[in-house]
Amino acid sequence: MRKKILVSFGPVISTFTPTFVRNASTTASFFSQRFDSYFQPNSRDRVYACNRDIEAHMKHGSIESALKLFDEMPIRDIITWNILISGCKRNGFSREALYYYGQMVSQGFVESSSTFSTVLGMFSDEGLHQEGLQVHSRVVVLGLSLNMYVGSALIDLYMNMGLVNFALRLFNDLPERNVATWNQLLRGFGEFGISHKLELYFRMKREGVVPNQLTFCYLIRGFGNERFANEGKELHSYAIKMGWAESDVFVSNSLVDFYCACGSLIDAKRSFQVIPTEDVISWNSLVSIYAYNGLASNALEIFSMMQVWGKKPSIRSFVGMLNLSSGNVNILLGKQVHCFVLKLGFDHGNSYIQSALIDMYGKCGEIESSVSIYENVPRRTLEVCNSLMTSFAWCGIVEDVIELFGLMVDEAIGFDEVSLSTTVNAMSKSSCASLKSCKLLHTCAVKSGFDLNHAVSCSLINSYSRLGHVKSCCQVFEQLSSPNVICFTSIISAHSRNKMGMECLKLLEVMINEGLKPDKVTFLCVLTACNYSGMVQEGKMVFDSMKSVHGIDPDRQHFACMVDLLGHRGLLEEAERLLKQAQFNNDSLIWSSLLRHCRTHQNETVGRRITQIVTKLEPENPAVWLHTSNFIGNWQERCNWKYI
Ligand SMILES: *[C@@H]1O[C@H](CO)[C@@H](O)[C@H](O)[C@H]1NC(C)=O
Ligand SMILES: *[C@@H]1O[C@H](CO)[C@@H](O)[C@H](O)[C@H]1NC(C)=O
Ligand SMILES: *[C@@H]1O[C@H](CO)[C@@H](O)[C@H](O)[C@H]1NC(C)=O
Ligand SMILES: *[C@@H]1O[C@H](CO)[C@@H](O)[C@H](O)[C@H]1NC(C)=O
């Protein structure tokens, strides 16, 4: 067994010569001294004294002196070796420590539990899993597997190897565990095994283990990532009870991070406020959450405080601030953040920040600035290109969207669903829109496998429908395995745009039967189609169901549609009643449109009432007066003519 370990250490040891390994003369003196000391009576006391000296040297980082003492020792015991190995490790000389471990075993010393926990920890940290496994077999042979310290080290090793279940088994086998063992396991679960973490947390409570601050930090981070708000709050109250929430910098900062991750702004702020400013670590979490919630002034305040305290904003903070500027179309804020970015040298090489900058300038309508940032980007990534592309689209420069797409293909940058759907949409609005160009992009989507993507499909449906090719729209739609509300709305809109009212109604029914919830846009498409197709009964039914069945308040546009639909058929009083109940009963434009219908149908009774309403709504607007007076004039003419 021992021999096997030595062989397997080969690659670690042989490629490595410790920087401070003794030279030939010290080795010679070592042998002579060793021989002498055997004849000294109190050699055990001397070993003990030497060990203490080595330990003291190691503690002060004077590793050379420690090794000199070690070399001069005539007799050593296991404690000497343990002190040497763990001292090397503590001072950052892991490979040297492993070298001495090899020496120790080859000289016939048998490891103690503390040797194992040191050595296993090193194998685990250095990623030397194979060697670690061989040490595990020595642990078993020497009967130390149930030792708590060795067990903890083994758990860490297996966790590092990703063998979570095996680590858990070792953990369960341990007859006793302390809080450090628990922490080892929790740390191992890291960001991923949150379900394990939660389970462990409850088990820990059951077994009456008292968590410490480190346990708290591991747990709360996991809870934050998974937004387990209730469990986190419970932990928080525990931390308050223990007095850590304010006294422990790491605990208090992890609380801020937790509440930020859960999106509870108020709690995050409260936890932040109890931390003395110089101890704040979680600045960036706070900036991000404020930015994410669109609270520009708060985000900016924290952002500036960070500058005062010399804290560096993270990429996430910068991106959050820039996103905030684009969302609010606040070019001033955006430029300020851009200055910070330049000052801190973040502009080069980070494509998240570059993309956010391009996006910000684009959304604020300064497309030249977007282009100039794009041109200075050292490496054109997909994100950067997409940001420029969506900026072009946002500013309505559709030709450049198409050109950029061509460039991305030519320069092998590639494209994704965002680039493709943006280009398809731009193409349909450009002067070169044609069935051919649409088919070309469709083929491109099929070849790249994006044709089943919802965004791409919707933009294809949209393009084909603009060209009047409803059949192609249906083909794209039928490919989708589980179309969502937006896909259904797109296909309904495609039919509506091409004045196919019945099909719209059928699709609406299918959609509702699939358990999807139509939204305002869906209903507007259906009502528009009903208006175009003159489907009065159906239109009325759909309109009524909006509020009564789906709980959606009709907008101005829905009413305008209904007024046209009813008015066109001469159902003037019905339209009048509808408008009077609506919250848009003060909208002179809709009333004017009803007035036009009265004129077309030459209905004086209703026409007069509506004229009164319109002139009352906009007494100051000369256009309205002109409009209505013309109208009244016409009637009077007609009336006179009638009586002549
Ligand atoms: C950017 O802001 C929008 C809202 O304006 C939000 O939906 C989006 O998630 C934000 N993105 C990032 C990366 O913060
Ligand atoms: C309703 O349809 C008519 C044509 O039938 C059209 O002129 C009118 O603009 C449509 N109204 C709305 C609100 O779409
Ligand atoms: C005006 O329209 C209403 C129904 O909207 C109808 O009852 C009435 O007879 C119409 N009047 C004239 C003069 O056409
Ligand atoms: C119409 O009334 C609503 C409130 O019901 C109000 O918000 C809106 O500004 C008013 N519009 C006009 C044109 O007066």
Q: Which long-range contacts (CB under 8 A, 24 or more apart) does 302-306 make?
A: 303/337, 303/340, 305/277
| Ligand positioned closest to the Cα atom of 326 | 1
Residue 549 placed within a domain: no
Percent of the chain scored above 70 by pLDDT?
A: 89
Residue 575 Cβ inside 6 Å of ligand 3? The answer reads no
Query: 3-state SS of 55-114?
Result: HHHHHCCCHHHHHHHHHHCCCCCHHHHHHHHHHHHHCCCHHHHHHHHHHHHHCCCCCCHH
Residue 554 Cβ inside 6 Å of ligand 1? The answer reads no
| Ligand positioned closest to the Cα atom of 604 | 3
- Residue whose CA is closest, atom 14 of ligand 1? 320
Residue 292 Cβ inside 6 Å of ligand 1? The answer reads yes
Distances (CA, A) of 559 to 455, 603, 636: 29, 21, 30
- Local confidence band at 278 (pLDDT 50, 70, 90 cut-offs): confident
Task: Among 579, 586, 588, name the best residue to mutate to test ligand 4's pocket (greatest count of ligand atoms within 8 A of Cβ).
Answer: 586
d(CA 503, CA 506): 5
What local confidence, expressed as pLDDT, does residue 607 receive? 87
Residue 343 neighbours by CB distance under 10 Å: 10
- State which of 13-22, 32-41, 272-281, 327-336 shows the largest mean pLDDT: 327-336
Cα(586) to ligand 4 centroid in Å equals: 6
Least confident interval from 37-46, 512-521, 575-584, 585-594: 37-46
Tokens of 176: 């006793």
Number of domains in the chain: 1
What local confidence, expressed as pLDDT, does residue 31 receive? 45
Residue 324 Cβ inside 6 Å of ligand 2? The answer reads no
Residue 622 placed within a domain: yes
CB of 381 closer than 8 Å to CB of 356 = no
What local confidence, expressed as pLDDT, does residue 13 receive? 39
Burial (CB < 10 A; 0-12, 13-18, 19+), residue 420, is buried
pLDDT digit string (tens) for 177-212? 888 888 888 887 765 566 677 788 888 888 888 888
Cα(537) to ligand 3 centroid in Å equals: 19
On the question of pLDDT at 641 being above 50, the answer is: no
What local confidence, expressed as pLDDT, does residue 11 receive? 37
What local confidence, expressed as pLDDT, does residue 397 receive? 94
d(CA 438, CA 494): 15
pLDDT digit string (tens) for 392-411? 999 999 999 999 999 999 99
Least confident interval from 234-248, 432-446, 469-483, 540-554: 234-248
Least confident interval from 20-34, 269-283, 555-569: 20-34
Cα(448) to ligand 1 centroid in Å equals: 28
On the question of pLDDT at 518 being above 50, the answer is: yes
- The dihedral of CA 341, 347, 349, 354: what is its sign? positive
Cα(600) to ligand 2 centroid in Å equals: 14
536-557 average pLDDT score: 94
On the question of pLDDT at 475 being above 60, the answer is: yes
- Residues in the chain, how many? 644
On the question of pLDDT at 462 being above 70, the answer is: yes
Burial (CB < 10 A; 0-12, 13-18, 19+), residue 25, is exposed
47-64 average pLDDT score: 91
Residue 598 Cβ inside 6 Å of ligand 3? The answer reads no
- Looking from the CA of residue 601, the nearest atom of ligand 3 is 14
Distances (CA, A) of 582 to 171, 233, 551: 68, 46, 15
> Residue 313 gets which letter from DSSP?
P
Residue 327 Cβ inside 6 Å of ligand 1? The answer reads yes
Cα(561) to ligand 2 centroid in Å equals: 7
- Local confidence band at 631 (pLDDT 50, 70, 90 cut-offs): low
- Integer distance in angstroms from the first to the last C-alpha of the chain? 126
Residue 598 placed within a domain: yes
Residue 532 Cβ inside 6 Å of ligand 2? The answer reads yes
On the question of pLDDT at 3 being above 70, the answer is: no
Site of tokens 């989708």: 480
Tokens of 619: 């007494």
Q: Which are the contacts of 356, defined by CB distance < 8 A and separation ≥ 6?
A: 318, 319, 322, 323, 326, 387
| Ligand positioned closest to the Cα atom of 263 | 1
| Ligand positioned closest to the Cα atom of 352 | 1
Residue 176 placed within a domain: no
Residue 180 placed within a domain: no
Cα(605) to ligand 3 centroid in Å equals: 7
What local confidence, expressed as pLDDT, does residue 350 receive? 84
Give the closest residue to 150 by CA, choosing from 123, 186, 189: 123
- Local confidence band at 81 (pLDDT 50, 70, 90 cut-offs): very high
Residue 320 Cβ inside 6 Å of ligand 1? The answer reads yes
d(CA 503, CA 74): 97
Q: Which are the contacts of 542, defined by CB distance < 8 A and separation ≥ 6?
A: 505, 508, 523, 526, 527, 530
What local confidence, expressed as pLDDT, does residue 446 receive? 94
Cα(351) to ligand 2 centroid in Å equals: 47
CB of 614 closer than 8 Å to CB of 624 = yes
d(CA 511, CA 546): 14
Cα(537) to ligand 2 centroid in Å equals: 16
Tokens of 13: 């040891």
- Local confidence band at 132 (pLDDT 50, 70, 90 cut-offs): very high
- Looking from the CA of residue 561, the nearest atom of ligand 2 is 13
Estimate the share of the chain in helix, then strand, then coil, as percent rounded to the nearest 5.
75, 0, 25
On the question of pLDDT at 589 being above 90, the answer is: no
Residue 334 Cβ inside 6 Å of ligand 1? The answer reads no
pLDDT digit string (tens) for 145-158? 899 999 999 998 99
Residue 367 placed within a domain: no
Distances (CA, A) of 228 to 131, 213, 223, 244, 293: 38, 19, 5, 20, 20
- Residue whose CA is closest, atom 1 of ligand 4? 586
Count the helices and strands in the chain (H runs, E runs).
38, 0
Residue 584 placed within a domain: yes
pTM: 0.68
Axis-axis angle for helices 283-292, 265-273 (nearest 10): 150
- Local confidence band at 42 (pLDDT 50, 70, 90 cut-offs): low
Cα(568) to ligand 2 centroid in Å equals: 9
Least confident interval from 2-6, 135-139, 553-557, 599-603: 2-6
Residue 98 Cβ inside 6 Å of ligand 3? The answer reads no
Q: Which long-range contacts (CB under 8 A, 24 or more apart) does 535-538 make?
A: 535/501, 535/502, 535/505, 535/565, 536/565, 536/566, 536/569, 536/571, 538/501, 538/505
- Local confidence band at 633 (pLDDT 50, 70, 90 cut-offs): low
- Residue whose CA is closest, atom 8 of ligand 3? 603
Residues spanned by the domain of 579: 555-644
Task: Among 289, 293, 323, name the best residue to mutate to test ligand 1's pocket (greatest count of ligand atoms within 8 A of Cβ).
Answer: 323
Cα(253) to ligand 1 centroid in Å equals: 24
pLDDT digit string (tens) for 301-321? 888 888 888 888 888 889 999
Percent of the chain scored above 90 by pLDDT?
A: 49
- Local confidence band at 612 (pLDDT 50, 70, 90 cut-offs): confident
CB of 255 closer than 8 Å to CB of 236 = yes
Cα(625) to ligand 3 centroid in Å equals: 24
Q: Which are the contacts of 218, defined by CB distance < 8 A and separation ≥ 6?
A: 183, 186, 187, 189, 197
Amino acid at 114: S
Residue 352 Cβ inside 6 Å of ligand 1? The answer reads no
Residue 608 Cβ inside 6 Å of ligand 3? The answer reads no
Cα(464) to ligand 2 centroid in Å equals: 22
Residue 210 neighbours by CB distance under 10 Å: 10
pLDDT digit string (tens) for 68-78? 999 998 889 99
What local confidence, expressed as pLDDT, does residue 2 receive? 35
Residue 621 Cβ inside 6 Å of ligand 4? The answer reads no
pLDDT digit string (tens) for 339-384? 988 888 876 768 899 999 999 999 999 999 999 999 998 889 999 9
What local confidence, expressed as pLDDT, does residue 84 receive? 94
- Residue whose CA is closest, atom 2 of ligand 1? 323
- Local confidence band at 135 (pLDDT 50, 70, 90 cut-offs): very high
Residue 367 Cβ inside 6 Å of ligand 3? The answer reads no
Residue 10 neighbours by CB distance under 10 Å: 10
Residue 81 placed within a domain: no
